[in-house]
């Protein structure tokens, strides 16, 4: 299952609007507004490499107010599960 992290630059002040739009895409597992050169960091999980191309080319890059993207495809790693505290 390919996983990619995408750095997104938006129009000035549009990061929260783009963040809200990203909630519409089931392939987006996580998304965060960040400070720095890029405005958002997005984690995408898909079944096949072809699906990743589809999401990037036909969904993310075509969103209004997205200026540019930089995609990093994960090749190896691990994930730590955080314990959820009781409320």
Whether 75 is covered by a domain: the verdict is: no
Whether 42 is covered by a domain: the verdict is: yes
Per residue in 34-86, pLDDT (tens digit) is 999 999 999 999 999 999 999 999 999 999 999 999 999 999 998 888 766 65
**What is the pTM assigned to this prediction?**
0.88
Q: Which has more pLDDT, 84 or 3?
A: 3
Q: Which of 30, 54, 56 is nearest to 41 (CA)?
A: 30
How much is the pLDDT for 65? Answer: 97
How much is the pLDDT for 45? Answer: 95
Domain at 42, CATH number: 3.30.70.920
Whether 82 is covered by a domain: the verdict is: no
Per the structure, the count of domains in the chain is: 1
Whether 73 is covered by a domain: the verdict is: no
As to burial, measured by CB atoms within 10 angstroms (0-12 exposed, 13-18 middle, 19+ buried), residue 25 is middle
| pLDDT bucket at 26, cuts 50 / 70 / 90 | very high
Whether 55 is covered by a domain: the verdict is: yes
Query: Which whole number is the average pLDDT over 22-28?
Result: 96
Q: What domain range is 28 assigned to? A: 3-67
Instruction: Tell me how far apart the 2 most distant CA atoms of the chain are, in Å.
Output: 41
How much is the pLDDT for 85? Answer: 65
């Amino acid at each position: 299952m390919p996983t990619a992290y995408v750095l997104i630059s938006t129009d000035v002040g549009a990061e929260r609007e783009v963040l809200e739009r990203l909630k519409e895409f089931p392939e987006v597992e996580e998304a965060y507004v960040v400070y720095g050169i890029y405005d958002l960091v997005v984690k995408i999980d898909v079944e096949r490499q072809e699906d990743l191309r589809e999401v990037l080319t036909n969904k993310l890059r075509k969103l209004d107010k997205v200026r540019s993207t930089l995609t990093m495809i994960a090749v190896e790693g691990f994930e730590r599960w955080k314990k959820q505290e009781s409320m």
